[in-house]
Amino acid sequence: MKILAVSDLHGDIKPIITYLKDNKVDLIIIAGDITHFGPPELGEDMLNEISSFDVPVLAIPGNCDPGSMHINIDQSQAINIHARNLVIKNIGICGFGGSNPTPFDTPLEFEEIQIYDEAKRAIEGIKEQEITLFITHAPPYDTKTDLLPSGVHVGSKSLRKIIEEMQPTVNICGHIHEARGTDKIGNTTIVNPGQVSHGHACLIQISDAQGAGEVETEIIKLQS
């Protein structure tokens, strides 16, 4: 399976559309900030345009999306995985959107206790799967993927705790545009693909071998 994972669209889907015109993927995952503070109907329209390539699209809202964005995802052709899970073949996928509190009082922020309770419940539902993808908008705390240029880590401590406890195969996150990169927490690969509106994305390749398939992640540059 070939998966295109992106985050931080901020209203610009041109790099995704350009890529899909020339490349085939089996699944698209969107890790939040679909819009830049709305309107929510724009997010719905963009998800429908991406879905027009006849590829399943899984999405969560980001902290810069309106608080009602999860409703618009449900109304679109995409599949909302915020605080939800699903299984595709032997791959368990779950998500949690928004972010831990920021200094900017953005529309979709959650207290750490709510993140832990709801995201942990979602990931518990896929823990028996051979491969698990944990899709979050916020990155886990104290990694290369949540590091501001000032040297301060601003990710979610609850997401880090969940990853330490559950050890999903891959955590795709976003939110911190400057922290594009990869890291590890135990056996979990953490990937912040960067801002797709600037042409950054991640390809996840999962082999179809019997048993536990191999998973490879690669940060790529799309045409912007």
Enumerate domains of the chain plus CATH numbers.
2-221 (3.60.21.10)
The alpha helices in 76-143, defined as continuous H runs, are 112-124
- Round to whole Å and give the CA distance between 203 and 6: 9
Q: Tokens for 79?
A: 């599949």
Phi-psi sector, 204: left (phi>0), alpha (psi -120 to 50), beta? beta
pTM above 0.75, yes or no: yes
- Round to whole Å and give the CA distance between 55 and 28: 7
Residue 213, pLDDT score: 77
Average pLDDT over residues 19-41: 97
Average pLDDT over residues 124-142: 98
How many beta carbons lie within 10 A of that of residue 48, not counting itself?
14
Average pLDDT over residues 100-125: 98
Instruction: With CA atoms as reference, report the closest residue to 177 among 199, 161, 159.
Output: 199
Query: Residue 28 is which amino acid?
Result: I
Task: Give per-residue pLDDT as tens, 170-204.
Answer: 999 999 999 999 999 999 999 999 999 999 999 99
Phi, psi of 52 (to 5 degrees): -65, -10
Asked if residues 44 and 69 have their Cβ atoms less than 8 Å apart, the reply is no
Reported residue count of the chain is 224
Residue 223, pLDDT score: 78
Q: Which residues of 89-102 are buried (b: 16+ CB within 10 A; e: fewer)?
A: ebbbbbbbbbbbee
Instruction: With CA atoms as reference, report the closest residue to 34 among 2, 51, 10.
Output: 10
Does the pLDDT at position 209 exceed 70? Answer: no
Quote the Cα angle for 211-213-219, to 5°.
170
Preceding peptide of 103 cis, ω within 30°: no
Query: Collapsing DSSP states into helix, strand and coil, what is residue 205?
Result: strand
Average pLDDT over residues 111-130: 98
- Round to whole Å and give the CA distance between 109 and 32: 12
Distance of alpha carbon 47 from its chain centroid, rounded? 14
For the chain, the maximum distance between any two Cα atoms, rounded to a whole number of angstroms, is: 47
